[in-house]
Amino acid sequence: MLLETFSPIESFRFAAKLRTSLSDRQIEVKIRDIIERLGLKACKDTRIGGKLFKGISGGERKRTSIGYELITDPNLLLCDEPTSGLDSSTALRIIQMLKKEAEN
């Protein structure tokens, strides 16, 4: 679950510290890699937002959620309706990104 007041980079850092035993340096390298792979450079420091205030877009939020899970290098990633609520262009980018991740 993403915290509305965190930015994507803060969310990834929180997940890594909570769910891995990586050093701070390793965490920062992993975060940079995930931000690059998921195309989150433009919004990496923007608050996620929610009901109380506007934040990143729906597609950026979905990619941040996926990145939150990828931080642990899972063997399997289950995505329940990763494109629901997104416009067709954003949905296509999400599916292309997931396909690319599956190939790695």
Q: Is the pLDDT of residue 100 over 90?
A: no
Q: Is the pLDDT of residue 17 over 90?
A: yes
For residues 7-16, give the mean pLDDT. Answer: 97
Reduce the DSSP state of residue 48 to 3 states and report it: coil
Region of poorest pLDDT, from 14-23, 29-38, 40-49, 79-88: 79-88
pLDDT at 69: 93
pTM (two decimals): 0.88
In angstroms, the CA 102 to CA 47 distance is 28
In angstroms, the CA 56 to CA 78 distance is 23
* DSSP secondary structure code for residue 71 in this structure: T
